[in-house]
Structure 1
């Protein structure tokens, strides 16, 4: 296969590689980078491609291996070696360990805010929270489904206002 034919085949196959790249990376920019890396590697290694074999499978393999290599490189970059006598390997990523106190305070505030709701709003809201469907709530409470949706909406709105202190917290 000539360089021109190979280049044309690569260009034709690149459209089918895009969804796979997006599936691997889950990010459009990273998928575009992976696509570019794959095409560059394929072109630089075109002499390793055997004419008459499946080009698409070859490109998918290059893409998968490139993704794995990049992922492993990223993980290694976040790992450092402790040079003390223990010689532990420690991941120093963005992981954060919390003691749970913040979550306990938040949960108390949420439960308090729910307890303050009028029963008219609290009952359908809690039923929906527990997994009941709108029509099941309407049947149990003997009210129209539109009323159920409205009351749940109002309950959420009240809770959102009541708990706005947590709006930008993670």
Structure 2
């Protein structure tokens, strides 16, 4: 394929690339930029195109890869990197403290709510909370697995109602 034939084929195919560019970018100006970048790359890499292969698929691949590269570049530009000397302190747990009083009050409220819930519902829930599987709870309590799931669900619902202050 001569350079003139290649340029003509690309010009004809570029009309079908515009909708694809719009789908990728969702912006008319960005789509035009992407289409232009694709055409420039195709013209610069004409020697890499093999005669007899699908020119349209080749251009679509160039466009998709160009879009991905531009997107990754944009994400990297928006990433903030703190280079200060004290950056190691930002995520350090050694210099942070937790409010144990808040945790103990929350646990007191949870235990109080659990005492209000029927034992038939709270017992399967507590076993599930401790890490038992549904079938293990069913065997341990000698009830069907569907009943276990239902009782755990009901216990969760009751806890949600009783602990609305923690939402």
TM-score (norm 2): 0.51
Report how far residue 9 of structure 1 moved. Answer: 0.3
Aligned to 2:44: 44
Deviations 1:28-86 (A, max 9, x none): 11000000000000000000001100100000000000000111111111112112443
Which structure is richer in relative contact order (CA contacts within 8 A, separation 6 or more)?
Answer: 2
- 1:9-158 alignment to 2 at 5 Å? 9-84=9-84, 85-86=87-88
Extract unaligned runs of 5+ from structure 2. Answer: 91-167
Partner-residue secondary structure (3-state), 2:53? coil
Change (3 A) 1:87 1:3: farther
Aligned length: 88
Higher helix content, 1 or 2: 2
- Larger gyration radius, structure 1 or structure 2: 2
Q: CA RMSD in A?
A: 1.5
CA distance in structure 2 between the partners assigned to 1:43 and 1:34 by the alignment:
14
- Segments of structure 1 that go 5 or more residues without pairing to the other structure are 89-170
In structure 2, distance between residues paired with 1:71 and 1:15: 23
Cα distance in 1 for residues equivalent to 2:72 and 2:45: 22
Divergent runs of 4+, >2 A: 84-88
Distance 1:82 1:26, change over 3 A: same
Note the C-alpha offset of 1:87.
Answer: 9.2
